[in-house]
Amino acid sequence: MKHYVIEIVEFKLVEGADLEKFIAANELVAGAISALDGFIDRALAQDDDGQWVDIVRWQDMACAKTAAAQVMQIEGFGALMKFFDTDSVKMKHFTTRYIM
């Protein structure tokens, strides 16, 4: 079985953030993120309480950790980060053990 790495970033948006502008800022960096070595796919989701998760699947842990450092250099990523309530951000990497 191939073991992938799932990166989960939990966060809330800053108070008063414009949802359409936040989504647009994500779209501006999406191509650069998907071009990073080992990228498989990405999903952005929100619950009813305003909590968000950004879920990215990587080929392996080395790619995930390298990407975590590289993403900060992506043009437009700084503008995207301005939407995040930085106190709420939590990032973890998980290695898959079972996939259906």
- Provide the 10 A C-beta neighbour count for residue 8: 13
pLDDT tens column, 58-73: 999 999 999 999 999 9
Tokens for 69? 């450092």
Spatial separation of the C-alpha atoms in residues 6 and 30, rounded to whole Å: 17
User: Quick one: pLDDT at residue 1?
Assistant: 75
Residue ranges of domains in the chain, CATH in brackets: 5-95 (3.30.70.100)
Spatial separation of the C-alpha atoms in residues 5 and 64, rounded to whole Å: 7
CA 55 to chain CA mean position, Å: 6
pLDDT tens column, 12-50: 999 999 999 999 999 999 999 999 999 999 999 999 999
Instruction: Report the chain's mean pLDDT, rounded to a whole number.
Output: 96
| Residue 93, beta-bridge partner list | 7
